[in-house]
Structure 1
Amino acid sequence: MSYRIYNGTKLLGDVNNKSTGINGLLPATNYQFGVSNYDGNRESSKTTINVKTRGIRLIIPTSLTVNSIITLNYQEYSLGLVPIGTEPAGMFGGGNKRNIQAKVISVDEGKSTVELLEPLEDDSNIQVGGTNLAKHTSNTLTNRMQVSDWVFVASSGNATNFNLGDYEGQTLMMRVWIDKPTVDAHLQAWTNASNAVGDTIKAGQSGYSSLTFKVPASFTAWNIAIGNGKAAEIAYKEFKVEKGTIATDWSPAPEDTQYIVDNTQMNRLQDGSFAAFNGYKAIYFRQ
Protein backbone atom coordinates (compact mmCIF):
# COMPACT_ATOMS: atom_id res chain seq x y z
CA MET A 1 0.00 0.00 0.00
CA SER A 2 1.29 3.45 -0.91
CA TYR A 3 -0.05 6.97 -0.42
CA ARG A 4 -0.79 9.49 -3.17
CA ILE A 5 0.03 13.11 -2.34
CA TYR A 6 -1.85 15.98 -4.01
CA ASN A 7 -1.42 19.74 -4.09
CA GLY A 8 -4.97 20.80 -4.91
CA THR A 9 -5.83 18.59 -7.89
CA LYS A 10 -2.19 18.11 -8.96
CA LEU A 11 -0.67 14.71 -8.16
CA LEU A 12 2.77 15.26 -6.63
CA GLY A 13 3.66 11.56 -6.42
CA ASP A 14 3.37 8.32 -4.48
CA VAL A 15 5.17 7.63 -1.20
CA ASN A 16 5.48 4.56 1.00
CA ASN A 17 6.07 6.37 4.30
CA LYS A 18 3.42 7.90 6.54
CA SER A 19 5.26 11.21 6.51
CA THR A 20 6.78 13.18 3.65
CA GLY A 21 7.96 16.68 2.77
CA ILE A 22 6.76 18.97 -0.02
CA ASN A 23 9.31 21.38 -1.42
CA GLY A 24 9.08 24.36 -3.76
CA LEU A 25 6.11 26.10 -2.12
CA LEU A 26 5.55 29.84 -2.16
CA PRO A 27 5.90 31.57 1.23
CA ALA A 28 2.89 33.10 3.01
CA THR A 29 0.49 31.21 0.72
CA ASN A 30 -2.56 29.03 1.33
CA TYR A 31 -2.49 25.45 0.02
CA GLN A 32 -4.79 22.47 0.15
CA PHE A 33 -2.97 19.14 0.32
CA GLY A 34 -4.62 15.77 -0.12
CA VAL A 35 -3.69 12.16 0.68
CA SER A 36 -5.27 8.94 -0.61
CA ASN A 37 -4.50 5.22 -0.29
CA TYR A 38 -3.37 3.50 -3.48
CA ASP A 39 -2.76 -0.24 -3.96
CA GLY A 40 -1.60 -0.07 -7.58
CA ASN A 41 -5.10 -0.55 -8.97
CA ARG A 42 -7.60 1.33 -6.86
CA GLU A 43 -7.41 4.64 -5.08
CA SER A 44 -9.43 5.75 -2.06
CA SER A 45 -11.07 9.15 -1.73
CA LYS A 46 -8.74 11.95 -0.68
CA THR A 47 -8.42 13.34 2.80
CA THR A 48 -7.49 17.04 2.58
CA ILE A 49 -5.98 19.64 4.87
CA ASN A 50 -5.63 23.41 4.41
CA VAL A 51 -2.34 25.01 5.46
CA LYS A 52 -0.58 28.33 5.08
CA THR A 53 3.19 28.49 4.71
CA ARG A 54 5.10 30.97 6.83
CA GLY A 55 6.46 34.09 5.19
CA ILE A 56 10.00 35.02 4.22
CA ARG A 57 11.93 36.26 7.25
CA LEU A 58 14.36 39.17 7.18
CA ILE A 59 16.77 40.44 9.82
CA ILE A 60 16.83 44.21 10.41
CA PRO A 61 19.82 45.47 12.47
CA THR A 62 17.71 47.65 14.77
CA SER A 63 15.49 46.99 17.79
CA LEU A 64 11.75 46.92 17.07
CA THR A 65 8.76 45.96 19.20
CA VAL A 66 8.02 42.21 19.26
CA ASN A 67 4.62 41.33 17.72
CA SER A 68 4.26 44.78 16.15
CA ILE A 69 3.35 45.15 12.47
CA ILE A 70 5.69 47.20 10.28
CA THR A 71 5.54 48.29 6.65
CA LEU A 72 8.26 47.41 4.13
CA ASN A 73 8.56 48.91 0.63
CA TYR A 74 9.08 46.41 -2.19
CA GLN A 75 10.33 47.41 -5.65
CA GLU A 76 11.46 45.82 -8.91
CA TYR A 77 13.85 47.81 -11.08
CA SER A 78 13.07 47.88 -14.79
CA LEU A 79 16.67 47.81 -16.05
CA GLY A 80 17.70 44.98 -13.80
CA LEU A 81 19.84 47.16 -11.54
CA VAL A 82 19.23 47.85 -7.87
CA PRO A 83 20.89 51.08 -6.71
CA ILE A 84 22.99 51.26 -3.59
CA GLY A 85 21.46 54.13 -1.67
CA THR A 86 18.25 56.01 -2.24
CA GLU A 87 15.96 55.14 -5.12
CA PRO A 88 16.65 57.06 -8.34
CA ALA A 89 13.91 58.85 -10.22
CA GLY A 90 12.81 58.30 -13.80
CA MET A 91 13.14 55.13 -15.81
CA PHE A 92 15.12 53.35 -13.10
CA GLY A 93 12.10 53.62 -10.83
CA GLY A 94 10.88 50.22 -11.94
CA GLY A 95 7.53 48.55 -11.55
CA ASN A 96 5.60 46.47 -9.06
CA LYS A 97 6.24 49.01 -6.33
CA ARG A 98 4.09 48.25 -3.31
CA ASN A 99 4.00 48.07 0.45
CA ILE A 100 4.38 44.75 2.29
CA GLN A 101 3.23 44.17 5.86
CA ALA A 102 5.55 42.27 8.20
CA LYS A 103 5.37 41.10 11.80
CA VAL A 104 8.26 41.42 14.25
CA ILE A 105 8.94 37.86 15.46
CA SER A 106 11.85 38.41 17.83
CA VAL A 107 14.62 40.80 18.84
CA ASP A 108 18.10 39.62 19.80
CA GLU A 109 21.18 41.77 20.45
CA GLY A 110 19.79 44.75 18.63
CA LYS A 111 18.61 42.76 15.57
CA SER A 112 14.94 42.22 14.76
CA THR A 113 13.63 39.19 12.85
CA VAL A 114 10.52 40.11 10.86
CA GLU A 115 8.23 37.81 8.85
CA LEU A 116 6.50 38.98 5.67
CA LEU A 117 2.74 38.45 5.86
CA GLU A 118 2.30 38.02 2.10
CA PRO A 119 4.32 36.65 -0.83
CA LEU A 120 6.47 38.92 -2.97
CA GLU A 121 5.72 37.08 -6.22
CA ASP A 122 2.67 35.75 -8.02
CA ASP A 123 2.40 31.98 -7.50
CA SER A 124 2.10 31.56 -11.29
CA ASN A 125 5.82 32.38 -11.49
CA ILE A 126 6.93 29.56 -9.18
CA GLN A 127 6.50 25.88 -9.94
CA VAL A 128 5.45 23.53 -7.17
CA GLY A 129 7.58 20.43 -6.90
CA GLY A 130 10.91 19.36 -5.57
CA THR A 131 13.41 22.16 -5.01
CA ASN A 132 16.20 22.11 -7.60
CA LEU A 133 19.44 21.80 -5.63
CA ALA A 134 21.57 22.59 -8.71
CA LYS A 135 22.07 26.27 -9.47
CA HIS A 136 22.49 27.88 -12.91
CA THR A 137 20.49 25.25 -14.79
CA SER A 138 18.16 26.01 -17.69
CA ASN A 139 15.17 24.73 -19.63
CA THR A 140 16.84 25.92 -22.86
CA LEU A 141 19.00 23.49 -24.82
CA THR A 142 22.73 24.01 -24.67
CA ASN A 143 24.68 24.29 -27.89
CA ARG A 144 25.72 20.92 -29.26
CA MET A 145 29.06 19.99 -27.74
CA GLN A 146 31.73 17.74 -29.19
CA VAL A 147 33.19 15.71 -26.31
CA SER A 148 35.76 12.95 -26.12
CA ASP A 149 34.03 11.12 -23.25
CA TRP A 150 31.64 12.99 -20.92
CA VAL A 151 29.88 16.32 -20.42
CA PHE A 152 30.49 17.09 -16.75
CA VAL A 153 27.52 19.01 -15.32
CA ALA A 154 28.90 19.03 -11.73
CA SER A 155 32.02 17.66 -10.05
CA SER A 156 34.18 17.91 -6.96
CA GLY A 157 36.63 19.91 -9.08
CA ASN A 158 33.96 22.48 -9.94
CA ALA A 159 31.18 22.60 -7.36
CA THR A 160 29.95 26.14 -8.10
CA ASN A 161 26.48 24.96 -9.14
CA PHE A 162 26.06 21.91 -6.87
CA ASN A 163 28.06 20.23 -4.12
CA LEU A 164 27.37 16.53 -3.53
CA GLY A 165 29.28 16.75 -0.26
CA ASP A 166 26.39 18.72 1.27
CA TYR A 167 24.11 15.65 1.02
CA GLU A 168 26.10 12.76 2.53
CA GLY A 169 23.85 9.87 3.49
CA GLN A 170 20.82 11.28 1.65
CA THR A 171 18.93 9.96 -1.38
CA LEU A 172 18.77 12.25 -4.41
CA MET A 173 16.85 12.13 -7.69
CA MET A 174 18.76 13.45 -10.72
CA ARG A 175 17.29 14.04 -14.16
CA VAL A 176 18.31 15.71 -17.43
CA TRP A 177 16.87 15.96 -20.95
CA ILE A 178 19.39 14.68 -23.52
CA ASP A 179 18.82 15.85 -27.09
CA LYS A 180 19.75 13.58 -30.01
CA PRO A 181 23.21 12.38 -28.94
CA THR A 182 25.32 10.88 -31.71
CA VAL A 183 25.92 7.78 -29.55
CA ASP A 184 23.83 6.15 -26.81
CA ALA A 185 24.09 8.40 -23.75
CA HIS A 186 22.88 8.56 -20.15
CA LEU A 187 23.20 10.55 -16.95
CA GLN A 188 25.69 9.09 -14.49
CA ALA A 189 26.70 9.97 -10.94
CA TRP A 190 29.66 8.41 -9.24
CA THR A 191 32.07 8.82 -6.37
CA ASN A 192 35.11 6.82 -5.36
CA ALA A 193 32.66 4.83 -3.19
CA SER A 194 29.54 4.30 -5.34
CA ASN A 195 28.02 4.66 -8.80
CA ALA A 196 24.57 5.14 -10.37
CA VAL A 197 23.59 5.07 -14.06
CA GLY A 198 20.47 6.69 -15.50
CA ASP A 199 18.15 5.72 -18.34
CA THR A 200 19.83 5.32 -21.73
CA ILE A 201 18.85 7.70 -24.53
CA LYS A 202 19.51 6.03 -27.86
CA ALA A 203 21.65 7.73 -30.51
CA GLY A 204 19.57 10.20 -32.53
CA GLN A 205 16.69 10.16 -30.03
CA SER A 206 15.75 12.53 -27.19
CA GLY A 207 14.37 12.03 -23.70
CA TYR A 208 14.94 12.20 -19.97
CA SER A 209 17.69 10.22 -18.29
CA SER A 210 16.89 9.83 -14.58
CA LEU A 211 18.65 8.13 -11.71
CA THR A 212 18.30 7.71 -7.97
CA PHE A 213 21.56 8.10 -6.08
CA LYS A 214 22.18 7.27 -2.42
CA VAL A 215 25.04 9.57 -1.51
CA PRO A 216 27.63 7.63 0.50
CA ALA A 217 28.41 8.73 4.03
CA SER A 218 32.04 9.36 3.11
CA PHE A 219 33.89 10.00 -0.17
CA THR A 220 36.72 12.14 -1.50
CA ALA A 221 35.86 12.75 -5.17
CA TRP A 222 32.68 12.79 -7.29
CA ASN A 223 31.30 13.59 -10.73
CA ILE A 224 27.90 13.96 -12.40
CA ALA A 225 28.10 13.70 -16.18
CA ILE A 226 26.23 13.00 -19.43
CA GLY A 227 27.56 10.57 -22.05
CA ASN A 228 28.95 7.04 -21.96
CA GLY A 229 32.70 7.54 -22.07
CA LYS A 230 32.85 7.77 -25.88
CA ALA A 231 33.36 10.63 -28.32
CA ALA A 232 29.99 12.21 -29.10
CA GLU A 233 27.99 15.32 -29.85
CA ILE A 234 25.59 16.10 -27.00
CA ALA A 235 23.12 18.86 -26.13
CA TYR A 236 21.04 18.89 -22.96
CA LYS A 237 18.64 20.94 -20.81
CA GLU A 238 16.62 20.76 -17.57
CA PHE A 239 19.32 19.30 -15.34
CA LYS A 240 17.75 18.92 -11.91
CA VAL A 241 18.83 17.44 -8.58
CA GLU A 242 16.21 17.06 -5.85
CA LYS A 243 15.77 15.18 -2.61
CA GLY A 244 13.88 11.89 -2.61
CA THR A 245 13.09 9.38 -5.35
CA ILE A 246 10.38 11.16 -7.36
CA ALA A 247 11.38 13.24 -10.40
CA THR A 248 9.34 16.44 -10.74
CA ASP A 249 9.20 19.01 -13.53
CA TRP A 250 12.24 21.20 -13.99
CA SER A 251 12.32 24.43 -12.02
CA PRO A 252 15.18 26.86 -11.32
CA ALA A 253 17.05 26.71 -8.04
CA PRO A 254 15.72 29.22 -5.48
CA GLU A 255 18.99 31.16 -5.80
CA ASP A 256 18.28 31.67 -9.51
CA THR A 257 14.76 33.10 -9.13
CA GLN A 258 16.05 36.43 -7.80
CA TYR A 259 13.63 36.11 -4.92
CA ILE A 260 14.47 37.79 -1.63
CA VAL A 261 16.08 34.89 0.27
CA ASP A 262 14.86 33.71 3.67
CA ASN A 263 16.81 35.09 6.66
CA THR A 264 18.58 37.74 4.57
CA GLN A 265 20.02 40.54 6.72
CA MET A 266 19.01 44.00 5.58
CA ASN A 267 21.83 46.55 5.38
CA ARG A 268 21.73 50.14 6.61
CA LEU A 269 21.94 52.69 3.79
CA GLN A 270 23.43 56.18 3.91
CA ASP A 271 20.02 57.79 4.42
CA GLY A 272 19.40 55.68 7.56
CA SER A 273 16.95 53.26 5.94
CA PHE A 274 17.54 49.51 5.55
CA ALA A 275 17.47 47.41 2.37
CA ALA A 276 17.91 43.87 1.06
CA PHE A 277 18.75 43.27 -2.60
CA ASN A 278 18.57 40.26 -4.88
CA GLY A 279 19.14 40.83 -8.59
CA TYR A 280 16.64 43.44 -9.78
CA LYS A 281 14.46 43.19 -6.67
CA ALA A 282 14.75 45.18 -3.48
CA ILE A 283 12.89 45.57 -0.22
CA TYR A 284 13.30 48.62 2.04
CA PHE A 285 12.46 49.51 5.64
CA ARG A 286 12.22 53.16 6.61
CA GLN A 287 11.55 54.06 10.23
Structure 2
Amino acid sequence: MSQVHANYYADSISQVSAPAVLNEPIAEKTFRLRIEVPEIAAKVTPGQFVMIRMDGVNAPLIGRALAVYDVIADDQGKPTWIDLVYLRKGALTTPLSGSPVGTPISVWGPLGNGFNGRPCKKLFMAVGGIGQTPMLLLGREALGTQSFGSGDRPSGWADEVELIYGARSSNLLAGVDDFRAAGFGVTLCTDDGSIGQQALVPDVLKQQLSQIDDRSGIRVVTCGPEIMMQKVAELCVELNVDCQVSMETPMACGIGICFSCVAKVNQDDGQWDYKRTCVEGPIFDACKICWD
Protein backbone atom coordinates (compact mmCIF):
# COMPACT_ATOMS: atom_id res chain seq x y z
CA MET A 1 0.00 0.00 0.00
CA SER A 2 1.45 3.37 -0.99
CA GLN A 3 1.99 6.08 1.60
CA VAL A 4 -0.87 8.48 2.27
CA HIS A 5 -0.44 12.09 3.34
CA ALA A 6 -0.91 12.35 7.10
CA ASN A 7 -3.60 15.02 6.70
CA TYR A 8 -5.95 12.31 5.48
CA TYR A 9 -5.66 10.34 8.69
CA ALA A 10 -7.72 10.60 11.88
CA ASP A 11 -5.13 12.58 13.85
CA SER A 12 -6.23 15.75 12.05
CA ILE A 13 -9.98 15.42 12.62
CA SER A 14 -12.32 16.69 15.30
CA GLN A 15 -14.90 14.57 17.11
CA VAL A 16 -17.77 16.38 18.76
CA SER A 17 -21.32 15.84 19.95
CA ALA A 18 -23.75 18.57 18.99
CA PRO A 19 -27.53 18.95 18.72
CA ALA A 20 -29.26 19.00 15.36
CA VAL A 21 -30.51 22.51 14.63
CA LEU A 22 -32.35 21.53 11.44
CA ASN A 23 -33.63 18.19 10.19
CA GLU A 24 -36.17 18.53 7.42
CA PRO A 25 -37.28 16.76 4.22
CA ILE A 26 -36.14 18.31 0.95
CA ALA A 27 -37.28 15.57 -1.46
CA GLU A 28 -38.89 12.14 -1.24
CA LYS A 29 -37.06 10.19 1.49
CA THR A 30 -34.29 12.83 1.42
CA PHE A 31 -33.46 15.10 4.35
CA ARG A 32 -31.20 18.02 5.23
CA LEU A 33 -29.49 17.83 8.64
CA ARG A 34 -27.75 20.89 10.09
CA ILE A 35 -25.31 20.60 12.99
CA GLU A 36 -23.40 23.32 14.82
CA VAL A 37 -19.80 22.11 14.67
CA PRO A 38 -17.44 25.08 14.13
CA GLU A 39 -14.43 22.86 14.79
CA ILE A 40 -15.28 20.86 11.67
CA ALA A 41 -16.88 23.59 9.56
CA ALA A 42 -13.66 25.62 9.58
CA LYS A 43 -11.64 22.70 8.16
CA VAL A 44 -13.96 21.26 5.50
CA THR A 45 -12.90 21.36 1.86
CA PRO A 46 -15.15 20.37 -1.07
CA GLY A 47 -15.55 16.63 -1.46
CA GLN A 48 -14.72 15.71 2.11
CA PHE A 49 -17.13 13.84 4.37
CA VAL A 50 -17.92 13.25 8.03
CA MET A 51 -19.03 10.21 9.99
CA ILE A 52 -22.10 10.54 12.18
CA ARG A 53 -23.99 8.58 14.83
CA MET A 54 -27.00 9.39 16.98
CA ASP A 55 -25.88 9.69 20.59
CA GLY A 56 -27.28 7.03 22.90
CA VAL A 57 -28.39 4.77 20.05
CA ASN A 58 -26.62 1.42 19.82
CA ALA A 59 -27.78 0.38 16.36
CA PRO A 60 -25.90 0.61 14.14
CA LEU A 61 -22.67 0.32 16.11
CA ILE A 62 -20.66 2.03 13.38
CA GLY A 63 -21.15 5.51 11.99
CA ARG A 64 -22.50 6.54 8.61
CA ALA A 65 -20.38 8.48 6.11
CA LEU A 66 -22.06 11.56 4.65
CA ALA A 67 -20.57 14.14 2.29
CA VAL A 68 -20.61 17.69 3.59
CA TYR A 69 -23.29 19.41 1.52
CA ASP A 70 -22.93 22.97 2.80
CA VAL A 71 -20.99 25.13 5.24
CA ILE A 72 -22.81 28.05 6.84
CA ALA A 73 -21.10 30.99 8.53
CA ASP A 74 -22.31 33.06 11.46
CA ASP A 75 -22.87 36.83 11.37
CA GLN A 76 -19.12 37.43 11.71
CA GLY A 77 -18.33 35.19 8.76
CA LYS A 78 -16.98 32.32 10.88
CA PRO A 79 -17.84 28.85 9.50
CA THR A 80 -20.13 27.42 12.17
CA TRP A 81 -22.68 24.93 10.82
CA ILE A 82 -22.48 22.08 8.35
CA ASP A 83 -25.39 20.68 6.34
CA LEU A 84 -25.59 17.00 5.47
CA VAL A 85 -28.09 15.60 2.98
CA TYR A 86 -29.07 11.98 3.51
CA LEU A 87 -31.41 9.38 2.12
CA ARG A 88 -33.71 7.56 4.55
CA LYS A 89 -32.98 3.89 3.97
CA GLY A 90 -31.10 2.19 6.80
CA ALA A 91 -30.66 1.51 10.51
CA LEU A 92 -29.25 4.99 11.16
CA THR A 93 -30.98 7.24 8.66
CA THR A 94 -34.49 5.85 9.25
CA PRO A 95 -34.68 6.84 12.94
CA LEU A 96 -32.66 9.98 12.24
CA SER A 97 -35.25 11.19 9.73
CA GLY A 98 -37.88 11.20 12.47
CA SER A 99 -35.71 12.82 15.13
CA PRO A 100 -36.57 16.34 16.33
CA VAL A 101 -34.37 19.41 16.45
CA GLY A 102 -32.11 19.11 19.48
CA THR A 103 -31.29 15.45 18.94
CA PRO A 104 -27.61 14.99 19.91
CA ILE A 105 -25.41 13.81 17.04
CA SER A 106 -21.83 12.55 17.25
CA VAL A 107 -19.79 13.85 14.34
CA TRP A 108 -16.16 13.22 13.43
CA GLY A 109 -14.30 14.71 10.52
CA PRO A 110 -13.59 16.15 8.08
CA LEU A 111 -12.36 13.00 6.36
CA GLY A 112 -11.06 12.11 2.92
CA ASN A 113 -8.95 13.95 0.39
CA GLY A 114 -11.54 16.17 -1.30
CA PHE A 115 -11.48 17.60 -4.81
CA ASN A 116 -8.55 19.65 -6.05
CA GLY A 117 -8.87 23.06 -7.64
CA ARG A 118 -7.80 22.32 -11.19
CA PRO A 119 -8.36 25.49 -13.26
CA CYS A 120 -10.78 25.17 -16.18
CA LYS A 121 -13.09 27.25 -18.32
CA LYS A 122 -16.16 25.15 -17.59
CA LEU A 123 -16.77 22.63 -14.84
CA PHE A 124 -19.40 19.97 -15.50
CA MET A 125 -20.88 18.13 -12.54
CA ALA A 126 -22.48 14.86 -13.65
CA VAL A 127 -24.47 13.49 -10.73
CA GLY A 128 -27.22 10.98 -10.08
CA GLY A 129 -29.25 9.79 -7.13
CA ILE A 130 -27.79 11.30 -3.96
CA GLY A 131 -24.53 12.14 -5.75
CA GLN A 132 -25.21 15.88 -5.78
CA THR A 133 -24.19 16.15 -2.12
CA PRO A 134 -20.44 16.92 -2.53
CA MET A 135 -20.98 19.37 -5.39
CA LEU A 136 -22.44 22.56 -3.92
CA LEU A 137 -19.23 23.53 -2.10
CA LEU A 138 -17.05 22.63 -5.07
CA GLY A 139 -19.06 24.76 -7.47
CA ARG A 140 -19.01 27.76 -5.17
CA GLU A 141 -15.26 27.43 -4.76
CA ALA A 142 -14.83 27.06 -8.52
CA LEU A 143 -16.77 30.28 -9.17
CA GLY A 144 -14.93 32.08 -6.38
CA THR A 145 -18.01 32.89 -4.31
CA GLN A 146 -16.84 30.98 -1.23
CA SER A 147 -13.55 29.70 0.17
CA PHE A 148 -13.02 26.70 2.41
CA GLY A 149 -10.49 25.12 4.72
CA SER A 150 -7.32 26.82 5.85
CA GLY A 151 -7.45 29.49 3.17
CA ASP A 152 -4.58 28.18 1.04
CA ARG A 153 -6.91 26.48 -1.47
CA PRO A 154 -7.42 28.28 -4.77
CA SER A 155 -10.84 29.69 -5.58
CA GLY A 156 -12.34 31.25 -8.67
CA TRP A 157 -10.68 28.71 -10.94
CA ALA A 158 -13.63 28.11 -13.31
CA ASP A 159 -15.56 30.52 -15.51
CA GLU A 160 -18.75 28.44 -15.54
CA VAL A 161 -20.29 25.55 -13.61
CA GLU A 162 -22.95 23.26 -15.09
CA LEU A 163 -24.78 20.69 -13.00
CA ILE A 164 -26.25 17.72 -14.88
CA TYR A 165 -28.47 16.02 -12.32
CA GLY A 166 -30.46 12.85 -12.89
CA ALA A 167 -32.88 10.74 -10.87
CA ARG A 168 -35.58 8.18 -11.46
CA SER A 169 -38.32 10.79 -11.01
CA SER A 170 -38.70 14.51 -10.26
CA ASN A 171 -39.75 13.90 -6.65
CA LEU A 172 -36.27 12.47 -5.91
CA LEU A 173 -34.31 15.55 -7.02
CA ALA A 174 -33.01 17.33 -3.92
CA GLY A 175 -31.53 20.80 -3.54
CA VAL A 176 -31.98 21.99 -7.12
CA ASP A 177 -32.82 25.53 -5.98
CA ASP A 178 -29.56 25.64 -3.97
CA PHE A 179 -27.52 24.99 -7.09
CA ARG A 180 -29.40 27.58 -9.12
CA ALA A 181 -29.01 30.15 -6.35
CA ALA A 182 -25.25 29.45 -6.34
CA GLY A 183 -25.04 30.53 -9.96
CA PHE A 184 -24.69 27.12 -11.60
CA GLY A 185 -26.31 26.17 -14.86
CA VAL A 186 -28.67 23.30 -14.12
CA THR A 187 -29.77 20.55 -16.52
CA LEU A 188 -32.19 17.99 -15.12
CA CYS A 189 -32.97 14.55 -16.47
CA THR A 190 -35.24 11.77 -15.22
CA ASP A 191 -35.82 8.16 -16.13
CA ASP A 192 -39.59 8.71 -16.39
CA GLY A 193 -39.48 12.13 -18.08
CA SER A 194 -41.37 13.79 -15.21
CA ILE A 195 -39.01 16.78 -15.39
CA GLY A 196 -36.25 17.79 -17.76
CA GLN A 197 -35.02 15.39 -20.40
CA GLN A 198 -36.03 11.75 -20.34
CA ALA A 199 -32.44 10.59 -20.52
CA LEU A 200 -29.50 9.28 -18.53
CA VAL A 201 -26.81 11.55 -17.10
CA PRO A 202 -23.92 10.18 -19.24
CA ASP A 203 -26.00 10.70 -22.41
CA VAL A 204 -26.83 14.30 -21.47
CA LEU A 205 -23.18 14.97 -20.68
CA LYS A 206 -22.19 13.54 -24.05
CA GLN A 207 -24.70 15.82 -25.78
CA GLN A 208 -23.27 18.89 -24.10
CA LEU A 209 -19.62 17.96 -24.57
CA SER A 210 -20.23 17.20 -28.27
CA GLN A 211 -21.23 20.84 -28.77
CA ILE A 212 -17.83 22.07 -27.57
CA ASP A 213 -15.12 22.14 -30.26
CA ASP A 214 -12.18 22.81 -27.92
CA ARG A 215 -12.52 20.63 -24.85
CA SER A 216 -9.06 21.42 -23.46
CA GLY A 217 -10.61 23.82 -20.94
CA ILE A 218 -13.30 21.39 -19.79
CA ARG A 219 -13.30 19.49 -16.51
CA VAL A 220 -15.84 16.92 -15.28
CA VAL A 221 -16.56 15.68 -11.78
CA THR A 222 -19.05 12.91 -11.10
CA CYS A 223 -20.76 11.18 -8.19
CA GLY A 224 -23.69 8.79 -7.99
CA PRO A 225 -24.48 5.18 -8.90
CA GLU A 226 -21.36 3.29 -9.90
CA ILE A 227 -22.60 2.35 -13.38
CA MET A 228 -23.34 6.02 -14.07
CA MET A 229 -19.87 7.08 -12.91
CA GLN A 230 -18.31 4.35 -15.03
CA LYS A 231 -20.12 5.58 -18.15
CA VAL A 232 -19.11 9.18 -17.41
CA ALA A 233 -15.51 8.13 -16.82
CA GLU A 234 -15.38 6.11 -20.05
CA LEU A 235 -16.82 9.04 -22.00
CA CYS A 236 -14.22 11.40 -20.58
CA VAL A 237 -11.39 9.02 -21.39
CA GLU A 238 -12.74 8.70 -24.93
CA LEU A 239 -12.93 12.49 -25.36
CA ASN A 240 -9.69 13.20 -23.47
CA VAL A 241 -11.51 15.29 -20.86
CA ASP A 242 -10.17 15.68 -17.32
CA CYS A 243 -12.48 13.85 -14.90
CA GLN A 244 -12.55 13.08 -11.21
CA VAL A 245 -14.95 10.68 -9.49
CA SER A 246 -16.24 10.79 -5.93
CA MET A 247 -16.56 7.14 -4.97
CA GLU A 248 -19.49 6.08 -2.79
CA THR A 249 -17.96 2.82 -1.57
CA PRO A 250 -19.67 1.76 1.70
CA MET A 251 -17.51 2.60 4.72
CA ALA A 252 -17.36 1.21 8.23
CA CYS A 253 -14.69 3.12 10.14
CA GLY A 254 -13.98 6.13 7.90
CA ILE A 255 -10.40 6.40 9.15
CA GLY A 256 -8.54 3.74 7.17
CA ILE A 257 -8.19 0.91 9.69
CA CYS A 258 -10.83 -1.62 8.58
CA PHE A 259 -10.13 -1.87 4.81
CA SER A 260 -13.85 -2.39 4.10
CA CYS A 261 -14.11 0.44 1.54
CA VAL A 262 -11.34 -0.49 -0.88
CA ALA A 263 -11.52 0.28 -4.59
CA LYS A 264 -9.35 -1.06 -7.40
CA VAL A 265 -7.12 1.73 -8.68
CA ASN A 266 -4.65 1.54 -11.56
CA GLN A 267 -1.03 2.34 -10.76
CA ASP A 268 1.63 4.05 -12.87
CA ASP A 269 3.33 0.69 -13.50
CA GLY A 270 0.23 -0.68 -15.24
CA GLN A 271 -0.85 -2.84 -12.30
CA TRP A 272 -3.75 -2.14 -9.98
CA ASP A 273 -3.87 -1.95 -6.21
CA TYR A 274 -6.59 -1.63 -3.57
CA LYS A 275 -6.98 1.89 -2.21
CA ARG A 276 -9.04 2.85 0.81
CA THR A 277 -11.81 5.20 -0.27
CA CYS A 278 -11.95 6.85 3.16
CA VAL A 279 -8.33 8.04 3.27
CA GLU A 280 -6.92 7.77 -0.26
CA GLY A 281 -10.25 8.95 -1.65
CA PRO A 282 -13.12 9.42 -1.96
CA ILE A 283 -11.89 11.51 -4.89
CA PHE A 284 -9.94 9.70 -7.63
CA ASP A 285 -8.96 10.45 -11.19
CA ALA A 286 -11.55 8.68 -13.31
CA CYS A 287 -8.97 7.10 -15.60
CA LYS A 288 -7.40 5.33 -12.61
CA ILE A 289 -10.45 3.38 -11.45
CA CYS A 290 -10.80 -0.31 -12.37
CA TRP A 291 -14.55 -0.57 -12.91
CA ASP A 292 -14.63 -4.32 -13.65
What TM-score do you get using the length of structure 2 for normalisation? 0.25
Query: Which structure has the larger Rg over C-alpha atoms?
Result: 1
Q: Per chain length, whose mean CA-contact separation is higher, i.e. which structure has more relative contact order (CA < 8 Å, sep 6+)?
A: 1
What TM-score do you get using the length of structure 1 for normalisation? 0.26
Which structure has the highest strand share of the two?
1
Which structure has the highest helix share of the two?
2
